[in-house]
Amino acid sequence: MAGDGGSPDESGAAGLGDDLVTQILLARGVPRGDLERHRNPSLRAFLPDPSHFRDMDAAAERLAQAVLGRETVTIYGDYDVDGATSAALLIRLLGELGLPARYYIPDRLLEGYGPSGEALVKLAREGSSLIVTVDCGAMAHEALAMAHEAGVDVVVVDHHKCSTDLPQAAALVNPNRLDESDVGAAHGHLAAVGVAFLLAVATVRCLRAQGYFTGRAEPDLFALLDLVALGTVADVAALHGLNRALVAQGLKVMARRENIGMAALIDASRLSRAPVCSDLGFALGPRINAGGRVGESTLGVRLLTTADPDEAQAIAAQLSALNEERRAIEQAVQEAAEAQIERQHNRAVMVLAGAGWHPGVIGIVAGRIKEKTGKPTLVIALEADEQGRGKGAGRAIAGGDLGAASSGAREAGMLIAGGGHAMAAGLTVSPEQLPALADWLDERLGVAITAAMANQALLLDLSLTPRGLTPALIETLESAGPFGMGWPAPRVAVGPVRLVKADTVGKDHVRLIVRGDDGASFKAIAFRAAESELGQVLLHGAQGRKLWLAGRAKIDDWASRPAAELHIEDAAFAD
């Protein structure tokens, strides 16, 4: 209907949009009777009562007590985006409640993941009567026991896998507790920042019941959703249900640019428009992560909590510079890791390790290699600490719970530390245990991974001719977003087409111009594909033949007039 590039009549646009969006929602598992709630996801429609979560009321009451008593509170965060946004959210909340909070972010290289007992005791001696750990703490039994002995209360806000026995804490809020309620467990896909937001809601409600807001304005919790959106997307949390509502509404808040640090981050990312969901994962998130990976771990929290525009601009610029440094380090580690792939072709889980690899980039490299091989991947930096131990990060594929496997390997005595969630894990391991670890992971995950890989298929939402690939169509498809893990962006097949031009841009991206039998042409690109089978076919084996191209339809807005393009994931000969 919009295939000629013009504007369809109003009734036609509405009919097209309603039909396509409905089909997209149904394809993602939405019951027909629940379509309207998912069509425009709102907090009112998806936010559960926080009291359904184990320990939530106890955590809220302890925070409220700290506010009323003007206690010294420290937020103990993690060094990644989820940790930084979770810490920033609670710091901003407490500030609006009239209680300035301190923060502590451990150094990735010197201290590693999670709260250390020494740090918690030090914070207690410095006057903190309450410590709130965010995005960490669920498995910190020894550290929290030391804090308890030092007389300081600790509230844990986490989302990582838990063991049957929980650490000693004033409250432990985590939808992935094994004893969680049915409602809480149904929200196990929340990032830590989402759990922190629920705690903020519960805390304000608790203070309201105690009359704290008589003559005092309540904090605008909605204004914190830009932090929730950034942390949720950057942590690759599944974007269905509540997460999708949090991100959808958070993007609206982000567009208002009310958070000075967030606005500076957007500017440093060279975005000339309001951020969309993919920007959070590929532009904003990596800059926050760069501080913890190769720079100073506190930079993200400082940026997202500052009220000084000059400080925000300076930190954002520093994070952008660190991100460029991170790219160079990452490239070197990735090349070294990829050199080991061939020796592990028979493994269900790739276990790649090397001395001198920077621990700050191993998670990114694991993700890159997972994308390239289609297999779960662990990348381990050997001799990463003074004890000569290895620090590892893993990225999984759907069908293999790497976090649970890492926790199991730790319980089996093969890891010094390990855990995470289904799609990502972190670990500490002695080098001599690596062969046994690789064998154990194969035994634990081999059947599930083999089945998952055998069932992989490129699922399509729409098939169309080249003339049907228009900006109007893409805008309609995007209205079913935001898209991400667990709520994939629509995938289309376009064809038949013939190549007009094919070349390599950047390091290994394949760029195409194609034309269909209907006379319409468009641009397409296959990212990081030049050396793959797909890339080689597009560059050298498809001249003169008709193709169907499959991938994500995007709007190219670099030119004076927006145009549709295709980000290719696969191709098939049409003749």
> Is residue 521 situated within a structural domain?
yes
Token duo for residue 216 = 């005092």
Q: Tell me how far apart the alpha carbons of residues 131 and 191 are, in angstroms, rounded to a whole number.
A: 20
**The predicted structure's pLDDT at residue 504:** 96
Are 542 and 421 found together in one domain? no
Are 436 and 466 found together in one domain? no
Environment class of 399 (CB within 10 Å of its CB; exposed 0-12, middle 13-18, buried 19+): middle
CATH of the domain at 496: 2.40.50.140
Final residue in a domain of this structure, among 255, 283, 311? 255
What residue type is assigned to position 78 of the chain?
D
CATH of the domain at 95: 3.90.1640.30
**The predicted structure's pLDDT at residue 129:** 98
* pTM as predicted: 0.86
DSSP 118: H
Are 472 and 427 found together in one domain? no
Are 136 and 245 found together in one domain? yes
Token duo for residue 321 = 């510079």
- DSSP-derived secondary structure for 140-178: -HHHHHHHHHTT-EEEEE--S---SSPPP-SEEE-TT-T
Structural domain for 488, as ranges: 458-573
Are 396 and 471 found together in one domain? no
What residue type is assigned to position 552 of the chain?
R
> Is residue 519 situated within a structural domain?
yes
Final residue in a domain of this structure, among 454, 474, 496? 454
Contact 397, 375 (CB under 8 A): yes
**The predicted structure's pLDDT at residue 433:** 94
CATH of the domain at 410: 3.10.310.30
Give per-residue burial for 2-11: e unless 16+ CB within 10 Å, then b: bbeeeebeee
> Is residue 274 situated within a structural domain?
no
> Is residue 511 situated within a structural domain?
yes
Contact 138, 160 (CB under 8 A): yes
Are 367 and 473 found together in one domain? no
> Is residue 7 situated within a structural domain?
no
**The predicted structure's pLDDT at residue 14:** 40
Contact 346, 440 (CB under 8 A): no
> Is residue 23 situated within a structural domain?
no
**Cα dihedral 393→268→83→28 (10° resolution):** -80
**The predicted structure's pLDDT at residue 559:** 66
Are 145 and 160 found together in one domain? yes
**The predicted structure's pLDDT at residue 10:** 36
**The predicted structure's pLDDT at residue 92:** 98
Q: Tell me how far apart the alpha carbons of residues 141 and 410 are, in angstroms, rounded to a whole number.
A: 14
Token duo for residue 305 = 């909590």
Phi/psi at 386 (5° precision): -65, -25
**The predicted structure's pLDDT at residue 12:** 35
Q: For residue 575, how many other CB atoms are within 10 A of its CB? A: 8
Taking only the tens of pLDDT, the chain with its 575 residues reads 233 333 333 333 344 445 899 999 999 999 999 999 999 999 999 999 999 999 999 999 999 999 999 999 999 999 899 999 999 999 999 999 999 999 999 988 788 778 999 999 999 999 999 999 999 999 999 999 999 999 999 999 999 989 899 999 999 999 999 999 999 999 999 999 999 999 999 999 999 999 999 999 999 999 999 999 999 999 989 999 999 999 999 999 999 999 999 999 999 999 989 999 999 999 999 999 999 888 899 999 999 999 999 999 999 999 999 999 999 999 999 999 999 998 988 898 999 999 999 988 999 999 999 988 889 999 999 987 778 899 999 999 888 888 888 889 998 999 998 888 788 888 999 999 999 999 999 999 988 888 888 777 788 999 999 999 999 999 999 999 999 988 999 999 999 999 999 999 988 899 999 999 999 999 999 998 998 899 999 999 898 899 999 999 999 877 678 899 999 999 999 97
In the chain, the number of structural domains is: 3
> Is residue 17 situated within a structural domain?
no
Are 232 and 358 found together in one domain? no
The order of strands in the sheet holding 130-134 is 102-104, 73-76, 130-134, 153-157, 171-173
DSSP 342: G
Phi-psi region of 43 (alpha: psi -120 to 50; beta: other; left: phi over 0): alpha
Are 449 and 479 found together in one domain? no
Final residue in a domain of this structure, among 454, 488, 510? 454
Are 384 and 512 found together in one domain? no
Comparing CA positions, the residue from 163, 168, 116 lying closest to residue 143 is: 116
Comparing CA positions, the residue from 269, 202, 267 lying closest to residue 234 is: 269
Q: Tell me how far apart the alpha carbons of residues 82 and 228 are, in angstroms, rounded to a whole number.
A: 8
Are 431 and 539 found together in one domain? no
Contact 535, 570 (CB under 8 A): no
- DSSP-derived secondary structure for 23-46: HHHHHTT--GGGHHHHHS--HHHH
Comparing CA positions, the residue from 69, 80, 59 lying closest to residue 201 is: 59
Residue written as token pair 């504007």: 7
DSSP 5: S
**The predicted structure's pLDDT at residue 13:** 39
The order of strands in the sheet holding 417-421 is 350-355, 377-382, 390-395, 424-429, 417-421
> Is residue 1 situated within a structural domain?
no
Are 409 and 550 found together in one domain? no
Residue written as token pair 């808040």: 253
